[in-house]
């Protein structure tokens, strides 16, 4: 359960500049005097973890005092931020790149500019912005960072989509456009089709005239799941058990053999993707939800000349891709506004973060993406 500060607990403040927690009231009084004549942020609240561990155990709500907004900085009032699997992994300490604790959780989101430093020219009060590339520490009510961190977006975009556009939808678009050259009439195959990336892949492929073959796990209500994916634009949807046959390509009908496959599960689900691929096809792995390895037959390499590669959004973004990614984000948000890109989410109040976290952890069964509204 998320721990909150009681009226008698010592104040715990997060220092935005050093990314360190400062304990005790004396330090805060000094900070208040120092900031009395400067532009400052409002006091804030944040979800912080002092050590790595189970998110529902180590996270806590803390109060954050005002900080100075320097000449090239922007104070943003956060509007919404999601709870992604990678956020959970960072808190657990198992994600390859993570801030050192103590740290504020969250990695993407959307906010509204509250105030700007004296030298800021690209943004104004009232603008909607997202951290692009994504930035650590979005689970807090106010954030002060340099203006180059923030990307201005149209205010007409639904808030929950603006908050979630920079990780999963961007991953789907990049994998479709940067891994293999695809043309209208080509096809792709993927497992984990009900994930947010999977749903985005279906719709983005459909918009380009690319067929999609989708693999899902066996589950109750599977017919409803299939119908949902087909309504998004999926050409074919199969359960893993339906594909336990010698020749899966007999299911393709008039769809060409896929040149490209996406794997976010591993294990048997990855092997099924490989079975569909055409001669010389490529499978891209971007996740491992089953925590099982990818096994490939020798014949797949020798006789089918299949290629295997990985994709990690954070590594791509770190390769000086900020401007390119912002252009792609704007494209994705335009598709959202046109009704051509959608996925299921659930908005939760910041005051109800504990319940949203439990849902994101799977403690309350299968749930939509949890998006915190501040």
- C-alpha to C-alpha distance for 209 and 350, rounded to whole angstroms: 40
CA dist 95 and 172 (Å) reads 20
Q: What share of the chain is helix, strand, coil (3-state, %, to 5)?
A: 30, 25, 45
DSSP lists the bridge partners of residue 363 as none
Token duo for residue 1: 């359960």
* Token representation of residue 16: 């935005």
Closest to 55 (Cα-Cα) out of 19, 118, 104:
104
CA distance 341 to 68: 39
* CB distance 80 to 370 below 8 Å: no
Identify the sign of the CA torsion 105, 110, 114, 115: positive
Q: Of 49, 95, 142, 161, which residue is the catalytic one?
A: 95
Phi first, then psi, for residue 50 (nearest 5°) are: -85, -30
Judge whether 95 counts as a catalytic residue: yes
CA distance 329 to 273: 28
Say how far apart CA 129 and CA 149 lie, in whole Å.
9
* CA 71/CA 73 separation, integer angstroms: 6
Q: Indicate the pairing of strand 236-239 with strand 211-216.
A: parallel
Phi–psi pair at 329, nearest 5 degrees: -65, -40
Length of the chain counted residue by residue? 374
Say if strands 103-104 and 20-23 run parallel, antiparallel, or are unpaired.
unpaired
> b/e map of 337-368 (b: 16 or more CB within 10 Å)?
eeeebebebeebebeebbbbbbbbbeeeeeee
Torsion sign, CA atoms 219, 290, 197, 262: negative
Just list the catalytic residues.
95
């Amino acid at each position: 359960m998320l721990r909150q500060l009681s009226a008698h607990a010592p104040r715990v403040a997060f220092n935005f500049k050093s990314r360190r927690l400062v304990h005790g009231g004396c330090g805060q009084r000094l900070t208040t005097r120092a900031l009395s004549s400067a532009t400052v942020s409002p006091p804030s609240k944040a979800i912080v973890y002092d050590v790595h561990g189970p998110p529902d155990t180590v996270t806590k709500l803390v109060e954050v005092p005002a900080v100075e907004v320097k000449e090239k900085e922007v104070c943003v009032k956060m509007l919404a931020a999601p709870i992604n699997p990678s956020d959970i992994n960072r808190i657990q300490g198992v994600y390859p790149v993570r801030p050192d604790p103590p740290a504020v959780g969250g990695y993407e989101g959307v906010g509204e500019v509250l105030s700007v430093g004296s030298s800021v020219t690209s943004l104004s009060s009232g603008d909607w912005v997202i951290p692009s590339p994504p930035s650590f520490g979005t689970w807090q009510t106010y954030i002060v960072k340099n203006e180059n961190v923030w990307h201005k977006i149209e205010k007409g975009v639904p808030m929950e989509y603006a908050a979630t556009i920079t990780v999963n939808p961007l991953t789907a678009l990049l994998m479709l456009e940067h891994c293999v050259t695809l043309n209208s009439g080509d096809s792709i195959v993927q497992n984990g089709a009900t994930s947010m990336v999977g749903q985005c892949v279906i719709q983005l492929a459909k918009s380009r005239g690319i067929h999609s073959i989708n693999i899902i796990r066996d589950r109750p209500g599977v017919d409803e799941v299939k119908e949902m994916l087909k309504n998004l634009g999926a050409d074919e949807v199969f359960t893993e058990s339906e594909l336990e046959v010698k020749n899966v390509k007999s299911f393709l009908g008039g769809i060409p053999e896929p040149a490209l496959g996406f794997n976010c599960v591993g294990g048997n689900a990855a092997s099924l993707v490989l079975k569909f691929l055409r001669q010389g096809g490529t499978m891209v792995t971007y996740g491992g939800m089953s925590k099982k390895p990818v096994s490939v037959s020798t014949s797949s390499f020798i006789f089918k000349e299949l290629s295997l590669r990985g994709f990690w959004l954070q590594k791509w973004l770190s390769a000086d891709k900020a401007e390119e990614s912002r252009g792609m984000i704007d494209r994705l948000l335009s598709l959202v506004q046109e009704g051509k890109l959608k996925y299921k989410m659930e908005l939760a109040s910041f005051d109800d973060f504990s319940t949203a976290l439990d849902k994101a952890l799977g403690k309350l069964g299968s749930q939509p993406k949890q998006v915190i509204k501040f």
